[in-house]
Amino acid sequence: MIRTLTWCALAALGVAPGAAPALAGHGAPTTAPSVQAEQVERLLGNGQPVVLIDLRPEAGFRQGHLPGARSVPFAQLRRRYGEIPSTRPVILYCACPPEELTAAYRFLSGEGYRNVRVLEDGFPGWVTRGYPLER
């Protein structure tokens, strides 16, 4: 039920399975469905149960990350993906080349995750907009 309600909330914000390709913060599109930073900020503000996965190295995560995000560095994703809930919406982000973000999305999709989106413009886009960070 939570998954349905949350995806309904995403849909109300204009996020659909066929959403536009995402940008990893470097201008090149990925093939993963995306969600805009503004939409994520609203979801967080409304207390929606969204799982944010920070794919950056742990040092970057410690310097600042999206509120409530979990650190699962890209290099550890294959080993640690079981830590990512498969019953709630998952939003991946990084400050990485678009190929890494696409690879992370495709890997999780291949493992049966049907609830994954990527943050359009990545971590740099979130910071540029002045949205909150946790340390």
In the chain the domains, ranked by start, together with CATH numbers, are 2-128 (3.40.250.10)
pLDDT at 73 over 80: yes
Separation CA 39–CA 27 (nearest Å): 19
Crossing angle (nearest 10°) for helices 37-45 and 2-12: 130
The mean per-residue pLDDT over the stretch 49-64 comes to 97
Three-state DSSP at 97 gives coil
The residue whose two tokens read 């950056």 is 56
Predicted confidence (pLDDT) per residue in 81-108, tens digit: 999 999 999 999 999 988 899 999 999 9
- Which pTM value belongs to this model? 0.80
Do 125 and 99 form a contact (C-beta atoms < 8 A)? no
